[in-house]
Each structure stands twice: as structure tokens, then as C-alpha cells.
Amino acid sequence: MLFKNLTPNSALILLVFMLVVSCKSDDDVINSDDTPGQFLGEIEWAKTFGGSREDDANSIIETTDGGFAVLGYTLSNDGDISDKTSTDADFWVFKTDADGNLLWSKTYGGSSDDRATKIINTSDGGLGVIGYTRSNDGDVSLNNGFYDFWLLKLDNSGNILWEKTFGFTGNDQGQSLIQTTDGGYFLAGFMDFDGRSVSQPVNKSGNRHGVGEFWGIKTDASGNQQWDTYFGGTSNDRAYDVVQTPDGGFIMIGNSESEDFDITDPKGSYDFWVVKTDASGAMEWQKNYGGSGIEIAYSISKTNDGNFLILGDTRSNDQDVTNSKGNADSWLLKINETGDLLWQQTYGGAQFDTGRKVIEKQNGELILFGTSRSNDQDVSANYGQSDFWLNITDANGDLIFEKNYGGSNLEFCNSGILTTNGNIVLTGSTESNDFDIPNNQGSKDVLLIKLK
């Protein structure tokens, strides 16, 4: 026995010591903020990037070396932007190490307006970038009129390997990009149908006359178009994100204002609109979700159980939308493979709150990246006009964590990631230089925040 060879007094002292240590250990496990693996939502570092003019970030990925590649656009020609002289908007990609230190920065575009929306890692170790361009010079080989989809393939140092434009004479904007299982790419966004001749080949029949149509383009691994498909009605319908489904098809999400042609069950002013295609781009089903107000969907992701999450914002409090919090709320849906609504949740306060990206953790919890102007109900704090806003929910969408990050001016969170080692990184723009914002480089900067 432990106390066999000890005197009574020594045994008593040892017993008291063990009880004290045991109590202290239990207290550490329950109350300590330093518990290994515990997410505190505290800022590990926050950094701004840019020049003296407007700079914004729309997308971020973790690179194979543990750093980050950030995509957006810049109007600056100074500060962190060293390879342009003009002040028109250009695609902007910069690379940091794991601590947010800038490794390289590159811009892409021509003499007109070029704005990037999504960056992905590609299977060959490079990068894929999508956005839209009005240029017809510089890095842009062709413009078909006004804005075109612009797709770039980069190596891992940001050098252009090839680039392609897709469009017609109207407003055609690339919003999302994925690499497909066959090594090609699928581009999602919207097109101005008035700029397209109905006699041109398209993977559907009939005539559409909308001011905006969901537009999906399938390319091979070199960016050559294999087919395209479009969906919508006579009003404004815009796709913002896409996923490939296990059967080889695609789900595009965004918003619809139309009440005719491909839209069969409109809910109100603007709805979340979801279109499922087969592997060749033919529509299999489409669904509207929303209420009598305005809903806009920005992000879709696959879940571990074979379903799908859709995140955006809502201004409704009827039909599919329950428990409205205020002016506009972040709105999260879960649907199954045939588009049936499994559940929906709203998050926010009395002011304008929106969700821009949703991802699922391995344990089933959900991470929502967005922006908040509120300071009540689901939102515990506000630093200024609008802040980065992070939500974490359980698998059913019930809120278990939320926190704001920002300064006294405007911050907009456009994207975020969960890193391979479990950190959360958020990006977007800032116009502040106080509170969580270390400095301001110009009128609007890219903001990168890493949490622990």
C-alpha cells in the first residue's frame, strides 16, 4: 500500500498534498482557457494588406506548405502592390506563410475593371482563379463585350500558365469555380441573356429573356469549354456558388427574382434558388426557398451525411423563414440530395446580418463566416459600423459560439477556412485602424485574421 512504510503524520501530509493536487487538476480541466484543443475564438494575429486605395478579398485557401493564398481585387499601385501602375481594379493574389507574413503579391488584368471572386487549389499543385473582366488588353486575351467570365490557371508562385474568357455582349460574371472529378473545371456565375443569341449552342432548349441567368460552364483541364448550360426566368437570377455531386452532376445556388420559365414555385421578391443538373448540365430539379421578402444565397457545401448546407441572408419572417431577428439575418438551410428542406435557422440581431460561407467540421459542428451590424440577440458585441462575425453551431444549426472582430469603421467578412490543424482564418475588408485592426494602409484594406 501507498502509506505502508510512512509514519501517521507523514501519511496525513501526503494525503492532504494529493487532495490539493487533485482538486487543482480538476479545476484546470474545467475552467482553464489553456485546455489543449479548446477553441477560444481569440485572435492569434490580425494583419492588413493593401495600398492607399481600395483593396478587398473575396476568397482564401490554405496552401500545401501551411500558408495562405488570398484572392481579391485592388485599385492600389503602392504599398503591398508593387507590379501595377494604374488605379483601375485588377485581380489580386497574395501568398503568406502560416504566420501571415507576406511572401509574394501579384496582380492580373488589363486597362479596365477586373474583379476576382474565387481561388482554389488544383490537383497539380497550382492555383485556379475565377472572376470577371471588362478588359481586352494586358493579361486578358479577349473580351466579348462589357463583363466576361475570366478564368486563370496559375502555378504555385502565381505565374499565369493560361487564361480564358467566356461571355457575350452583356454583363457576364464568374462567381465560383471548382475542379471536377475528371480534372477539368466547372465555372458558375450569371450571364446577361440579352447579350446572347439563342441560335448559339447551349445545353438546353427554348428561349430565355432574363436580365440575369444562372450560367454554368464545363471545361477540360486546359480551360477549353466542353459545354455550358443556363437557367432562369425573365427577371434577375444570379448564381454565386456550386458543388459537384456524387453522381457527377452539379448544384448551383444563388438567388432568383423570376416567376416564370425555369422557376415554378417563387416565394417572394428574391429567393434562394437551387438548381441540380446531371453530369452533362441538364436540369434534374430546381427549388425556391424563402419568404415574401428578399433572400440571397452565397455558399453551398456538402455534409458528411450526404446532404447540403446553404448560407446567405434573409429579410423575411414567413413561409420557409421562421424566427426573424431583425432587418436582415444570416440564414442557414440544410437540404437533402433531392432538395427537400431538412431544417433552417436564422442568426442575427436588430440590424443587418449576413452569412457568406459555411463549412462543416469533422465532428459535425458548422462554421459560419459573415458580417454583422447588430449588438443584440445573437450578437453579443459590435465594434463599429459592421464587423466580421463568426458563428459556430451544432449539427442541427443551434448556435454554440459567436464572436465579432473589427474596428470602429466598416469591416466585411467575405470568406474563411478551417485549417488542417484546426485553426479558423477569416478574410474580407476593413476601413478601420483601431480595436482588432492593427493598422490601415489606405481607404480599404484586405483583413486577414487567424483565431485560436
Strand ranges inside 376-434, DSSP E: 387-393, 399-405, 411-418, 424-430
How many H-runs (helices) and E-runs (strands) does the chain carry? 1, 28
pLDDT number for residue 8: 45
Cross-strand pairs, 403: 390
Residue 307 carries which side chain, given as an amino acid letter?
A: N
Mean pLDDT of the chain: 90
User: What are the residue boundaries of the structural domains of the chain, listed by start?
Assistant: 62-80+91-384
The owner of cell 476576382 is 116
**216/272 Cα distance (integer angstroms):** 17
In the chain, the largest separation of any two C-alpha atoms, in whole Å, equals: 101
Quick one: pLDDT at residue 324?
A: 96
Reported confidence tier of residue 212, pLDDT bands at 50, 70, 90: confident
Per-residue pLDDT reduced to its tens digit, 391-422: 999 999 999 999 999 999 999 999 999 999 99
pLDDT of the residue at 194 = 64
List beta partners, residue 65. none
CA 249/CA 314 separation, integer angstroms? 28
Q: How far apart are CA 424 and CA 367, in angstroms?
A: 9
Residue 27 has pLDDT above 50, yes or no: no
The verdict on domain 62-80+91-384 having CATH code 2.130.10 is yes
Q: What is the pTM of this model?
A: 0.90
- Residue type (1 letter), 44: E
Joined grid coordinates for residue 317:
419572417
Pairing of strands 445-451, 43-49: antiparallel
